[in-house]
């Protein structure tokens, strides 16, 4: 069996590692970037994601490059605590929660894959731009010389000079992100990405530890809030979100830079005895802005021998620390489904979608609620100085969300492994 994977991000690389761990060796990842570099900012990996990467043999590497998050704490705009809960091992999980630099995580996945499968397993500067199955073209390109492929898929892969090659495989996994070319092909009428009118600003800064040194904090309300957590020794990751009037700009573009001192003006008076938020943000070397974007849950992820995965299948707002985590779970379940349905790719893909699509779709919608009405309700209580009621509301929301996303401690600790025992 030959598997083609569009996208060499966290989802695509974890898919390749998972398939290899399940016994597949004929794998090819196509990544549009010229090289795998340590770009980006922070990402959180709750215990359900850490479990899967640990079972892929990467536990020691995660411990080396990540910060084990010990608590999540919510504060109001005055810096007053609303509620805090323990996280990871301290909360009774068998696996830690890590805050980690996204680029370093991607590098660990890339190095593990190339060590296990060879340097040629990832081809950079290669973007999957189209595919065909059977006699039906799926990229809008007319080619009278095409032959039918009733049991496979042919992917059209383009380099940076515009040259294209066709690669044949038994399966194409589309892990090519929020602006997925593959999704655009199978959903030509999906329309533009959706936004709630919020702008996100992100950056990292050299900064001394705050609170416990391994705390993740969410400060603010439904009008303005900041998420802060360490991702390395004296390295702090921050995310500021606020509504912006008018046109949000290009959705799905994560690379617009701006001066962090400009961002700091939005929280100029958020100076607390435990953290000077404006100074922390202004001290960053650079910052990026991009509109918050997602799309409605999709009715299908699998189209013949093409399967959507990660942001291509379920891009979501960055609440609940589950964007990258859900992609990791997708990858593991896909590999498990293929291994437990030997010789029947179609049944395996159906099992993958049946297991993952309902969960990820629910998380997409839950993240929208977290970004909107949940914070509005909690903030209204805080403005009435009803911090106790706000605390109970947050506790209930967090407990429900963990069950929904698959990482409440009891369920996760007892769930059977998705690892495949190779005989």
Closest among 362, 370, 352 to 297, alpha carbons compared: 362
Q: Are strands 198-206 and 235-243 parallel, antiparallel or unpaired?
A: antiparallel
Can you tell me the distance from the alpha carbon of 349 to that of 409, in angstroms, rounded to the nearest whole number?
A: 28
pLDDT tens-digit readout, 272-316: 999 999 999 999 988 999 888 899 999 999 999 999 999 999 999
**H or E, element range at 391:** helix 387-405
Among 314, 312, 382, 417, which Cα is nearest to 75's? 382
Q: What is the pLDDT of residue 148?
A: 45
Say what the pLDDT of residue 312 is: 97
**Cα(181)–Cα(125) distance, integer angstroms:** 15
Terminal alpha carbon distance of the chain: 18
376-388: per-residue pLDDT in tens?
A: 899 999 999 999 9
How many other β-carbons are positioned within 10 Å of the β-carbon of residue 150? Answer: 9
Sheet with 153-158, side-by-side order of all strands: 136-137, 127-133, 153-158, 164-169
Average pLDDT, the chain: 91
Q: What is the mean pLDDT of residues 323-341?
A: 97
Angle made by CA atoms 361, 237, 194, in degrees to the nearest 5: 35
Question: What is the distance between the alpha carbons of residues 290 and 294, in angstroms, rounded to a whole number?
Answer: 12
**Could you tell me where the beta strands, DSSP code E, fall in 8-65?**
27-30, 42-45
Provide the pLDDT for residue 420: 87
Kindly report which listed range (37-51, 99-113, 198-212, 299-313) carries the lowest average pLDDT score. 37-51
Q: What is the pLDDT of residues 346-372, one digit of tens each?
A: 999 999 999 999 999 999 999 888 767
Percent over 90 (pLDDT), the chain: 77
Distance, in Å, from the CA atom of 137 to the CA atom of 254, rounded to the nearest integer, reads: 31
Report the pLDDT value the prediction gives residue 38, as an integer from 0 to 100. Answer: 61
Q: What is the mean pLDDT of residues 247-265?
A: 78
Task: Report strand pairing: 27-30 vs 122-123.
Answer: parallel
Report the CATH number of the 3-192+295-414 domain.
Answer: 3.50.50.60
Domains in the chain: boundaries: 3-192+295-414
Note the pLDDT of residue 423: 58
Label residue 91 by pLDDT band (50, 70, 90): very high
| Residue 97 in tokens | 């929660």
Higher-confidence residue of 397 and 39: namely 397
């Amino acid at each position: 069996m030959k598997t083609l994977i569009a996208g060499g991000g966290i989802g695509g690389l974890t898919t390749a590692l998972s398939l290899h761990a399940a016994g597949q060796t004929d794998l090819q990842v196509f990544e549009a970037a010229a090289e795998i570099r340590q770009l980006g900012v922070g990402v959180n990996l709750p215990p359900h994601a850490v479990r899967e990467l640990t079972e892929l043999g990467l536990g020691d590497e995660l411990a080396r490059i990540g910060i084990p998050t010990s608590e999540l704490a919510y504060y109001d705009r005055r810096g007053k605590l609303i509620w805090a809960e323990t996280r990871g091992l301290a909360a009774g999980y068998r696996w830690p929660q890590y805050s980690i630099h996204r680029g370093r995580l991607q590098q660990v996945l890339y190095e593990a894959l190339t060590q296990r499968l060879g340097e040629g397993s990832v081809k950079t500067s290669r973007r999957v731009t189209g595919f065909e199955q059977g006699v039906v073209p799926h990229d809008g390109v007319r080619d009278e010389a095409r032959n039918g492929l009733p049991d496979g898929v042919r992917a059209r892969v383009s380099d940076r000079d515009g040259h294209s090659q066709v690669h044949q495989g038994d399966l194409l996994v589309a892990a090519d992100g929020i602006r997925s070319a593959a999704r655009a092909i199978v959903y030509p009428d999906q329309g533009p990405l959706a936004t709630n009118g919020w702008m996100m600003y992100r950056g990292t800064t050299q900064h001394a530890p705050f609170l416990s040194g391994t705390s993740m904090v969410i400060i603010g309300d439904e009008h303005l809030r900041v998420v802060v957590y360490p991702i390395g020794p004296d390295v702090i990751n921050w995310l500021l979100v606020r509504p912006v009037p008018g046109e949000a700009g290009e959705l799905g573009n994560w690379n617009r830079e701006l001066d962090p001192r400009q961002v700091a003006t939005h929280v100029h008076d958020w100076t607390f005895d435990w953290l000077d938020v404006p100074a922390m943000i202004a001290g960053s070397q650079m910052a990026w802005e991009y509109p918050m974007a997602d799309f409605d849950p999709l009715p299908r992820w699998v189209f013949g021998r093409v399967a959507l995965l990660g942001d291509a299948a379920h891009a979501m707002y960055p609440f609940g620390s589950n964007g990258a985590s859900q992609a990791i779970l997708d990858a593991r379940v896909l590999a498990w489904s293929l291994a437990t349905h030997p010789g029947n790719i179609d049944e395996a893909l159906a099992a993958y979608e049946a297991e993952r699509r309902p969960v990820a779709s629910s998380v997409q919608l839950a993240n929208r609620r977290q970004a909107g009405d949940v914070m509005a309700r909690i903030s209204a209580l805080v403005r009435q100085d009803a911090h106790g009621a706000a605390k109970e509301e947050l506790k209930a929301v967090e407990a429900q969300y963990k069950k929904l996303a698959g990482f409440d401690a009891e369920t996760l600790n007892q769930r059977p492994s998705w690892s495949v025992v190779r005989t």
